[in-house]
């Protein structure tokens, strides 16, 4: 049993340790520990209650193996690098067999680490059971989990990672479609959302002027990344796009689609386009100008997704152009 104390990392293969509940009295054990160990008071957590009773232990039993591993490790406060030496000495004394009781893994009810919810079990050579009392789980303080846990860099790393995870969680609630568990994709979502919001501000600031032509030119500039055009040039760029698309369509529909997507545009049937434009901006009379063949109204929409109907080709700009509907 003592060997399991020494090498908790290997105890992952022995989950049966859980079944033997501690029969000893936590309080006594920890009292002794405290009196013997030259434990600086700062090693204790701020509001450390006296060693928790079986309730914590019972709760502790339900944790997975990884968190159990951490129990037996020394929960040194990270401000005290010197404690490691003392604790190691004490622990070696323990391991000599002086433990009078069966010391299950879960005995660390008094020594358990609060933020075990985010544990990454790190293999440690020597683990000592610290005598610091268990702190309530709600307190997010980090206890060092290694024997040589006094390495400030790893602690800082862990702190930093936890902090970032915390912020990520709060960001997840803000961003729509924030149910991605992957950190990278979550960050992508966040970045896209910020871009989207900034684009919205831009569109809204434009729409107030009622400058229809300038609106579409600005939007196409964003999608295509070209230089800013004055309102006069907008007609030509739209025409060029149309010609290009028509040319591509003759060869291959797919390449035409890709070209459109690259510009942030998509194809949709004219009837649908008219429906959308009349539905979303029924009051935009001054902006509706008589347009070419198709008679599609040119009406920049200042709704959440900027939609611009370029005349004639019924090409619609969508925010990310992910939806392409063929006529």
Binding site for other proteins (CB under 8 A): 78-79, 139-142, 152-153, 155-157, 159-161, 163-164, 166-168, 170-171, 174-175, 183-184, 187-188, 190-191, 193-195, 197-198, 200-202, 204-209, 211, 214, 218, 228, 230-231, 281, 283-286, 302
Closer to other proteins by Cβ: residue 27 or 157: 157
Q: How far is the CB of 167 from other proteins (least distance, A)?
A: 4
Q: How far is the CB of 214 from other proteins (least distance, A)?
A: 4
Q: How far is the CB of 231 from other proteins (least distance, A)?
A: 6
Closer to other proteins by Cβ: residue 126 or 207: 207
Q: How far is the CB of 218 from other proteins (least distance, A)?
A: 7
Closer to other proteins by Cβ: residue 61 or 78: 78
Candidates 232, 197, 231, 145; CA nearest to 305 is 197
Q: How far is the CB of 291 from other proteins (least distance, A)?
A: 20
How far apart are alpha carbons 242 and 229 in whole angstroms? Answer: 17
Closer to other proteins by Cβ: residue 62 or 161: 161
Closer to other proteins by Cβ: residue 3 or 181: 181
Candidates 81, 178, 75, 180; CA nearest to 132 is 75
């Amino acid at each position: 049993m003592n060997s399991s104390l020494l090498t908790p990392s290997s105890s992952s293969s022995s989950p049966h340790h859980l079944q033997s509940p501690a029969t000893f009295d936590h309080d006594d054990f920890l009292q002794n520990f405290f009196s013997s160990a030259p434990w600086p008071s700062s090693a204790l957590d701020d509001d450390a209650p006296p060693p928790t009773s079986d309730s914590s232990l019972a709760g502790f039993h339900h944790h997975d193996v990884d968190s159990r591993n951490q129990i037996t490790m020394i929960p040194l406060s990270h401000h005290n690098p010197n404690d490691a030496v003392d604790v190691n000495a004490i622990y070696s004394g323990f391991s000599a067999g002086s433990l009078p009781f069966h010391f299950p893994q879960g005995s660390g009810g008094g020594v358990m680490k609060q933020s075990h919810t985010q544990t990454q079990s790190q293999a440690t050579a020597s683990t000592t059971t610290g005598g610091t009392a268990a702190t309530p789980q709600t307190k997010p303080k980090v206890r060092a989990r290694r024997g040589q846990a006094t390495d400030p860099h790893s602690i800082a790393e862990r702190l930093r990672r936890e902090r970032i995870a915390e912020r990520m969680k709060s960001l997840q609630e803000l961003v729509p479609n924030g149910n991605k568990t992957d950190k990278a994709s979550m960050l992508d979502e966040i970045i896209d959302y910020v871009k989207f919001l900034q684009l919205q501000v831009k569109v809204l600031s434009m729409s107030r002027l009622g400058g229809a032509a300038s609106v579409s030119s600005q939007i196409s500039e964003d999608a295509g990344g070209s230089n800013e055009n004055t309102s006069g040039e907008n007609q030509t760029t739209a025409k060029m796009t149309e010609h290009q698309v028509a040319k591509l369509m003759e060869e291959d529909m797919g390449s035409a689609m890709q070209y459109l997507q690259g510009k942030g545009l998509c194809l949709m049937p004219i009837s649908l386009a008219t429906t959308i434009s009349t539905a979303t901006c029924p009051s935009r009379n001054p902006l509706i100008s008589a347009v070419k063949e198709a008679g599609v109204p040119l009406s920049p929409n200042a709704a959440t997704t900027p939609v611009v109907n370029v005349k004639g080709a019924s090409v619609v700009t969508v925010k990310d152009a992910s939806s392409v509907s063929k006529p």
